[in-house]
Amino acid sequence: MAKKTIANVNVKGKKVLIRVDFNVPQDANGAITDDARIRKALPTIQHVLKGGGRLILMSHLGRPTGEPDPQYTLAPAAKRLGELIGQNVVMAPASVGPDVVTIVNGLKDGQCCMLENLRFNKAETIKDKEAKDKPELRQQKDGFAKQLADMADVYVNDAFGTCHRDNASMLTVPQQMGSKPKVVGFLVQKELEYLGDALNTPKRPFVAILGGKKVSDKIGVIEALLGKCDAVLIGGAMQYTFMLAQGQKTGGSLVEPDKVDEAKRLIAAGGGKLKLPVDCTIAAELKEGAATKTTEGNIPDGMQGLDIGPKTIELYKKIIADAETVAWNGPMGVFEVKPFDVGTFAVADALVAATAKGAITVIGGGDSAAAIQQAGLSEKVSHVSTGGGASLEFMEGKPFKAVDVLDNA
C-alpha cells in the first residue's frame, strides 16, 4: 500500500480538500472533551497551510440522519482547530452548494475553511452495494461527490478511522477527481506504515493480543493472525465462549452459544499458537469495588467472568516480553470498572516494557487505545492507531478501496 503523500504535491495556490476524522467526543453543551483526533491531523494541515495551499477540510460527526442537526455541527471543531493553528477557520454553512463554493473560491493562500458535517447529506453514507442496482442512489452519491471534487485541485485522505468505509467523501470523491492528485496525509501514511510493517514484515516473534466482547467480531482476524503470528493471546469476554467450547461452565458470563463451533474450530486450527486464559477474575456483579475471586476452571452459577486472572497475566507478560513485534486490539476485561482493569493495564505495562527493549508495539485503536491513553502510556508504545474498526479490518487483510483508489508512490 505504498501511496503518494501530501509531501509529494506542490500545494502553492492549490485548493486542497482533506478528509479528516474530526468525529470528536462532546459534552451535552457541545464542548469538545477530547481533541486528540484534531491534534493528530495537525501535521498534514500545517504542511498545507505553510506551503501556501488553500485548505478545505471535511469530516463527519456523530450519526445524524442525513439532515442538518445543530447538535452535530462541526463548528466547535473548527473553533478548536483555529485555536490550535493560531488562525481563523472559516465555517461553511453546508458541505456543498453555491454558498460553500463562494467561501472556497474566496480563500487565499494559507487560509482554511471547514465544511459542515458531511452526514447532513444522505448521499454521504449511501453504500456502493446499495447504489449498484438503484440508479437514483448512484446518481445522488455521484452528484454529491462531484460537487466536493469540483471545488478542489488536490484530494487528501487523512481519516484512517473511516478508510474501511465506502462513504462518498472517502471513495467516490477521489474517483471523481480524474487526473488531479489523490494522496494520503501524514496520519494515514503513518498508520499504513506501522500496521503494514507489523502485519506483513514483522520482526519475530510476532505476538497478537485480541480482546473484546465477541468472538463473532474477531473470527476473521483470529484466522488471519494465526497464519501470520507466532502466538495469539485471547482475553476479554470472548474468552468465555472459548471456555464453553472446551466444555467448561461459564456462569453468568457474556457468551455467544451460537459461536461455540467456530471457537472449537479456531482452537483446533490454532494448535499451540492460540493462547487462552488459564484463569479469570470473577464477581457476582459488575460494579465498582465488587468482591472478586479467581477461578482456574468452571465459573459457578451466580458469578461472571470480568477479567483475565493473575496466572494468565504472568503467562501473557512472559510471551510479550519475548516478542519483537506486538499488535494489540481489545481489552482483557471490563477495564472501565475497577477492579476489572487489572488485566488490561498489566498488558499495557507489558507493551511499554517490550517497547523499551526495542520491540515494535502497535495498539489497534478502539477500547485498547482508550485504555492505554487512560493509563498515560500512549507515548511509550510504538504506535496507537486512530481507527478501531479500520485497524481490525486491516489486520484481517480486507481491502481498503478508499486507499486503493489513491495515487501509488
Q: Pairing state of beta strands 280-283 and 292-295?
A: antiparallel
Is the domain of 261 the same as that of 354? yes
| pLDDT tens digits, one per residue of 93-118 | 999 999 999 999 999 999 999 999 99
Is the domain of 239 the same as that of 133? no
User: Rounded to whole angstroms, how far apart are CA atoms 179 and 182?
Assistant: 8
Kindly state the percentage of the chain with pLDDT values over 70. 100
Return the exposure string of 194-204: e unless at least 16 CB atoms fall within 10 Å of the residue's CB, then b.
bbebbbeebee
Is the domain of 34 the same as that of 166? yes
Q: Can you give the residue range of the structural domain that contains 349?
A: 194-396
- Higher confidence at residue 220 or residue 43? 43
Catalytic site includes residue 293: no
User: Rounded to whole angstroms, how far apart are CA atoms 374 and 363?
Assistant: 13
Report yes or no on 202 lying in a domain.
yes
Return the exposure string of 324-341: e unless at least 16 CB atoms fall within 10 Å of the residue's CB, then b.
bbbbbbbbbbbbebebbb
| 3-class DSSP state of 54 | strand
Number of domains in the chain: 2
Is the domain of 209 the same as that of 344? yes
Q: Which residue, of 144, 167, 187, is where some domain finishes?
A: 187
What sign does the CA torsion over 57, 58, 59, 65 have? Answer: positive
Mean pLDDT across 290-315: 96
Q: Which of 55, 62, 51, 67 is nearest to 19 (CA)?
A: 55
| pLDDT tens digits, one per residue of 216-242 | 888 889 999 999 999 999 999 999 999
Report yes or no on 406 lying in a domain.
no
User: Rounded to whole angstroms, how far apart are CA atoms 256 and 260?
Assistant: 7
Is the domain of 108 the same as that of 28? yes
Catalytic site includes residue 82: no
In a 13 Å sphere around the CA of 213, the CA atoms on its Cβ side amount to: 4
Is the domain of 102 the same as that of 165? yes
Report yes or no on 407 lying in a domain.
no
| All three cell numbers of 241 | 465462549
Catalytic site includes residue 389: yes
The catalytically annotated residue of 389, 397, 398, 401 is: 389
Is the domain of 39 the same as that of 160? yes
Catalytic site includes residue 53: no
Q: What is the pLDDT of residue 394?
A: 85
| All three cell numbers of 195 | 500496521
Q: What is the pLDDT of residue 36?
A: 87
The catalytically annotated residue of 37, 54, 119, 218 is: 37
User: Rounded to whole angstroms, how far apart are CA atoms 384 and 12?
Assistant: 32
| All three cell numbers of 289 | 469495588
Contact 334, 239 (CB under 8 A): no
Contact 316, 209 (CB under 8 A): yes
Report yes or no on 402 lying in a domain.
no
**pLDDT > 70? residue 58:** yes
| All three cell numbers of 347 | 498488558
Separation in Å, CA 349 to CA 156, 324, 353, 397: 36, 16, 6, 28
Q: Which residue, of 137, 161, 187, is where some domain finishes?
A: 187
Contact 317, 324 (CB under 8 A): no
Report yes or no on 403 lying in a domain.
no
Is the domain of 325 the same as that of 370? yes
Q: Kindly report the pTM of this predicted structure.
A: 0.87
Q: Which residue, of 187, 214, 247, is where some domain finishes?
A: 187
User: Rounded to whole angstroms, how far apart are CA atoms 30 and 46?
Assistant: 25
CATH number at residue 144: 3.40.50.1260
Report yes or no on 401 lying in a domain.
no
- 3-state SS, one letter per residue, for 223-263: HHHHCCCCEEEECCCHHHHHHHHCCCCECCCCCCHHHHHHH
**pLDDT > 90? residue 12:** yes
With a CB cutoff of 8 Å and minimum separation 6, the contacts of 395 are: 195, 199, 208, 221, 224, 225, 327, 329, 364
Dihedral of CA atoms 129, 135, 139, 141 in degrees, nearest 10, equals -10
The catalytically annotated residue of 138, 214, 249, 380 is: 214
For 30-88, where are the E strands, in sequence order?
54-58
The catalytically annotated residue of 185, 235, 270, 366 is: 366
**pLDDT > 70? residue 1:** no
Is the domain of 132 the same as that of 73? yes
Report yes or no on 100 lying in a domain.
yes
Element containing residue 91 per DSSP (H, E):
strand 89-91
Element containing residue 209 per DSSP (H, E):
strand 206-210
| pLDDT tens digits, one per residue of 116-141 | 999 999 999 999 888 888 999 999 99
